[in-house]
Structure 1
Amino acid sequence: MDPVSVGVLAALAGGAGGELGRQAWATLSELVRRPFGRQAGAPVSGEAELVALSEAPGEPARAEALSGALAARAAVDPEFAAALDSWRGRIPALAEGSVTNTVSGGTQYGPVIQGRDFSGITFNSPTSPPARES
Structure 2
Amino acid sequence: MDPVSVTLLVALAGGAGGEVGKQAWTSLGALVRRPFRHTGESHQIRTMSSGEAELVALQQTPADPAMAQALSTALAVRAALDPDFQAGLQQWQEQARLVRTGDGETHNEISGGTFNGAVLQGRDFNGLTFDTPPTPRTTP
Bin of the TM-score, shorter chain as denominator length: 0.7 to 0.9
Question: How far apart, CA to CA, are the structure 1 residues paired with 2:54 and 2:22?
Answer: 18
- C-alpha deviation, 1:36, in angstroms: 2.9
Question: How far apart, CA to CA, are the structure 1 residues paired with 2:50 and 2:94?
Answer: 21
* Pairwise CA RMSD: 3.0
What is the count of residue pairs matched by the alignment? Answer: 117
1:70 to 61, 70, 75: 75
2:63 to 40, 58, 77: 58
Which shows bigger deviation, 78-87 or 33-42?
33-42
User: Closer, same or farther in 2 for the Cα pair 1:87/1:100, shift >3 Å?
Assistant: farther
1:21-100 mapped onto 2 (5 Å cutoff)? 21-38=21-38, 40=42, 41-42=44-45, 43-94=48-99, 97=103, 99=105
User: Closer, same or farther in 2 for the Cα pair 1:3/1:104, shift >3 Å?
Assistant: same
User: Closer, same or farther in 2 for the Cα pair 1:98/1:24, shift >3 Å?
Assistant: farther
* Identity percentage of aligned residues: 49
1:16 aligns with: 16
* TM-score, normalised via structure 1 length: 0.73
* TM-score, normalised via structure 2 length: 0.70
What is the CA deviation profile of residues 40-85 of structure 1, one whole-angstrom value per residue up to 9, with x for unaligned ones? Answer: 1222100000000000011111000000000000001010000000
- C-alpha deviation, 1:2, in angstroms: 1.2
SS in 2 for 1:64: helix
1:126 aligns with: none
Which shows bigger deviation, 83-92 or 24-33?
83-92
Which shows bigger deviation, 3-12 or 91-100?
91-100
- C-alpha deviation, 1:115, in angstroms: 3.7
Larger Rg: 2
Question: How far apart, CA to CA, are the structure 2 residues paired with 1:115 and 1:47?
Answer: 36
Give the structure, 1 or 2, with the largest relative contact order (CA under 8 Å, sep 6 or more): 2
Structure 2 alignment gaps of length 5 or more: 125-138
1:123 aligns with: none
User: Closer, same or farther in 2 for the Cα pair 1:67/1:51, shift >3 Å?
Assistant: same
